[in-house]
Structure formats: structure tokens, C-alpha cells
């Protein structure tokens, strides 16, 4: 496709995002959306589950809109959500491995864009909670609570940027050491030689040796949950950004090539699992839009002559998602349809999910060169 045609699509899609996000910001404000019912965000996660791992994506979308448009209403709503999230700090047992997802896009985003010291404190508090989950013998950050002592999950690669940020802010390498130890363990135990990944790896907490690799949110053990692939792709690209360790760049490329090869066989929209039976067909647009951001991050890390492959793949995914799944009707909530939480189970299958919208907006900002890093 010709360059000016692509630019036209980027411009018109951004205009649609601006129109829809402006109306949604007025309608939703400080409430915390997750999945709409019949086109309306009825549930406020701030009321029903303040600990829910996706609670940072709405403020992340608002901060992206604020920095792109400078409209104060986005900042006000994002700050309101950030204050509400303080209630999660009061409930230690409810907190988990996903504090990066929750506070990178709320408090840390606020600090990065406005310099707010109160927000920096919240971000550091979250970073310390994440660092506190580190197992120094197994050299990993454990997932979940209770009896999951040796569990790691691929999603964690998107949480550890909180630790890189904390090291940069404090000039204290401890946080980065933990992040890198964890990334090394994930690379060894959850990324396969062909670039596919396990969602979960259960390790011996005494020494980090692999015991078992269940399928988690994918089809089965040994399969390839596509959102897990995108967490890994983008996560390793981000670890490379912060550390400049070539092993992470190599991992991000390997996973990217695997993702691109698979998604190109289904019209650039990913199946929920790349290694699942042909029927029933189950889509997950959220995996595609997250991978698109990872591919664009990867392109930015590479010399110009290597960038096109990744950038074109990202554009193919985003355009296919737009054509087949985007809802630009401003009277309805949410943008990207076709998101699926997990391969098994009917709940939240092929529906709009808040992080699908987050990554779609981030990707368009990246293509527009209006992007700021919130990871
Ligand atoms: N982090 C959980 C998920 O991707 O669904």
C-alpha cells in the first residue's frame, strides 16, 4: 500500500479516536471501565474490584489523550482514577503481580507528564510491592498469591518496566537487577526455541528449575496463547529499551517473527491461541493490537533498514482490526471489538475489553509520532 494512503488512514483513524475519546471522557470520567454491556460501561471496577489488573488502562488512555490534545478534562479524569486506586494500596492481600499494569499508566504516567511528586510516591510504592515479590533463590518475581509460590507468567514482562523506571528515578540499580533476573528466568523457562511461549511456568522456588508448564489462558499445555505472545514480544522489546542487553532484543525479534508468521495466516487478526484446533474459530484482537505496539517499539530500537518489516506488520494488524472490529459510534462505549480474555470459558469472549482500546490508541500515537512512553 502506498505511503500516502497509509498516512491518510492514520490521520482519519486518529480523528475518529479523538471524537470518540472526547465523548467517552465526558461520559465515563473517573469511573473505571473494563468490558461494556450492550455498548455501555455499566460496571465501575472502582466499586466492584479495585484490585483488578486492568484498572490502569483507562487512565493510561486518558493520559495519552491529554498529552496529544492538551485538553484538561483528560488529566482531571485520570487524576481522579489515580486517587481512587489508593484504596487498592490499603488491601495488601488483594494485590498481585500486575501492579505495573495498574500504576504505570496512572501514577507513573502522571509523574512523567506533570512531575507530580505525590504520583511519584505512588509509583515507587507500587514498585516496592513488585520488588517484594522477588524470590532470590529462584531468581523470579512470583505470580499470584497463596500457594502459587513458584509460579511465573509471561504477562509479567509488561509489569517489570515499573522496576526499570524505579531504578532510573532513584539511581538505585536494585530494582533493575530484580527485573533482569526475572526477565532471564522468563526467557529460559517460558520462551521456546521457535519463539512461541508458555503462559505459565511452575518453578521450584528453591532453585528456579522448571516443574510444569500449564496452558493457562491458552488452549492447553504446549499451545501458544496469542496475548501471551504479545506480552512477551512487547515486554522483551521494553526490557531491551531499558537495559540495552542484546539478548532481550534477540528474544523480542524471535517472538515477533513467530507472531507475524502466525497472524499473517488469519488476515492479520490473531486467533486466541496460535496452536489450537481449527474449529471453533476464536479471535482475540487485544493480542493483535498489543503486538502491534511491540512491533513498533521493536522497529524504533533497530536501524532504519530493519524497521520496515516490523512497522508494516504492525500497520497490517491495526488496519485489519479497524476494518473488521472497530466501533466508531460515539453513542456506544468502547472501540475495539473481538477481544477474548481466555481460550476456555464463555465470559468475555469476542467482546470489547479496555486494554484492546488502550493498545489501539497507543499504536496510533506511535504511528503519528505523538507517542510518549508510559511503560
Ligand atoms: N494479564 C492477564 C491477561 O492477559 O488476561
Per-residue pLDDT of the chain in tens (375 residues, 90 and over written 9): 789 999 999 999 999 999 999 999 999 999 999 999 999 999 999 999 999 999 999 999 999 999 999 999 999 999 999 999 999 999 877 899 999 999 999 999 999 999 999 999 999 999 999 999 999 999 999 999 988 899 999 999 999 999 999 999 999 999 999 999 999 999 999 999 999 999 999 999 999 999 999 999 999 999 999 999 999 999 999 999 999 999 999 999 999 999 999 999 999 999 999 999 999 999 999 999 999 999 999 999 999 999 999 999 999 999 999 999 999 999 999 999 999 999 998 899 999 999 999 999 999 999 999 999 999
Find the 341 Cα to ligand 1 centroid distance in Å. Answer: 7
3-class secondary structure, 191: strand
CATH number corresponding to 3-367: 1.50.10.10
Residue 148: the pLDDT is 87
E strands of the chain, at which residues? Answer: 134-135, 140-141, 151-153, 200-203, 210-212
Residue 219: the pLDDT is 98
Domain spans of the chain, in order of start: 3-367
Contacts of the segment 116-120: beta carbons below 8 A, 24+ positions apart:
119/82, 120/169
Q: Ligand 1 in contact with 35 (CB < 6 A)?
A: no
Q: Ligand 1 in contact with 227 (CB < 6 A)?
A: yes
Residues 296, 369: Cα–Cα separation, whole Å: 11
Residues 133, 259: Cα–Cα separation, whole Å: 30
For the record, the C-alpha cell of 256 comes out as 515477533
Residues 256, 313: Cα–Cα separation, whole Å: 10
CA distances to 17, 64, 83, 210, 328 from 67, rounded to whole Å, are 14, 5, 20, 43, 22
Residue 42 DSSP label: -
For the record, the C-alpha cell of 22 comes out as 472526547
Cβ-based neighbour number of residue 86 at 10 Å = 13
Question: 0.85 cut: is pTM over it?
Answer: yes
Kindly compute the dihedral angle of the four CA atoms of residues 166, 167, 171, 172, in this order, to the nearest 10 degrees. 110
CA distances to 245, 253, 320 from 301, rounded to whole Å, are 12, 11, 25
State yes or no: is 98 an active-site residue: yes
Distance of alpha carbon 171 from the chain centroid:
26
Find the 264 Cα to ligand 1 centroid distance in Å. Answer: 23
Beta bridge partners of 197: 191
Residues 140, 148: Cα–Cα separation, whole Å: 13
Q: Ligand 1 in contact with 232 (CB < 6 A)?
A: no
Residues 271, 294: Cα–Cα separation, whole Å: 18
Amino acid at each position: 500500500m502506498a505511503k500516502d494512503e497509509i498516512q491518510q488512514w492514520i490521520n482519519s483513524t486518529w480523528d475518529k479516536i479523538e471524537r470518540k475519546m472526547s465523548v467517552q471522557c465526558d461520559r465515563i470520567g473517573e469511573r473505571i471501565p473494563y468490558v461494556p454491556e450492550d455498548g455501555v460501561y455499566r460496571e465501575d471496577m472502582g466499586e466492584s474490584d479495585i484490585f483488578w489488573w486492568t484498572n490502569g488502562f483507562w487512565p493510561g488512555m486518558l493520559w495519552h489523550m491529554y498529552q496529544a490534545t492538551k485538553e484538561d478534562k483528560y488529566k482531571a479524569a485520570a487524576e481522579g482514577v489515580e486517587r481512587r486506586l489508593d484504596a487498592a494500596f490499603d488491601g495488601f492481600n488483594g494485590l498481585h503481580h500486575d501492579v505495573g499494569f495498574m500504576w504505570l499508566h496512572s501514577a507513573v504516567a502522571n509523574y512523567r507528564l506533570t512531575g507530580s511528586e505525590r504520583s511519584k510516591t505512588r509509583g515507587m510504592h507500587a514498585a516496592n510491592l513488585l520488588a517484594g515479590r522477588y524470590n532470590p533463590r529462584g531468581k523470579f518475581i512470583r505470580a499470584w498469591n497463596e500457594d502459587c509460590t513458584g509460579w511465573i507468567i509471561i504477562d509479567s514482562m509488561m509489569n517489570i518496566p515499573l522496576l526499570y523506571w524505579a531504578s532510573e528515578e532513584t539511581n538505585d540499580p536494585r530494582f533493575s537487577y530484580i527485573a533482569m533476573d526475572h526477565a532471564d528466568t522468563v526467557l529460559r523457562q517460558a520462551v521456546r526455541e521457535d519463539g512461541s511461549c508458555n503462559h505459565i511456568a511452575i518453578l521450584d522456588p528453591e532453585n528456579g528449575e522448571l516443574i510444569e508448564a500449564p496452558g493457562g489462558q491458552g488452549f492447553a499445555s504446549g499451545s501458544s496463547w496469542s496475548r501471551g505472545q504479545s506480552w512477551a514480544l512487547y515486554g522483551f522489546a521494553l526490557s531491551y529499551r531499558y537495559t540495552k542487553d542484546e539478548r532481550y532484543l534477540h528474544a523480542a525479534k524471535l517472538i515477533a517473527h513467530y507472531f507475524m508468521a502466525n497472524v499473517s495466516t488469519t488476515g492479520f487478526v490473531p486467533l486466541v491461541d496460535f496452536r489450537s484446533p481449527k474449529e471453533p474459530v476464536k479471535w482475540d484482537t487485544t493480542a493483535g493490537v498489543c503486538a502491534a505496539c511491540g512491533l513498533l517499539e521493536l522497529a524504533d530500537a533497530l536501524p532504519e533498514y530493519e524497521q520496515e518489516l516490523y512497522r508494516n506488520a504492525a500497520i497490517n494488524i491495526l488496519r485489519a482490526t479497524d476494518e473488521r472490529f472497530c466501533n466508531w459510534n460515539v453513542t456506544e462505549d468502547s472501540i475495539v471489538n473481538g477481544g477474548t480474555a481466555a481460550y476456555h470459558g464463555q465470559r468475555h469472549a469476542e467482546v470489547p475489553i479496555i486494554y484492546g482500546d488502550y493498545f489501539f490508541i497507543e499504536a496510533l500515537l506511535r504511528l503519528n509520532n505523538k507517542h510518549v512512553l508510559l511503560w
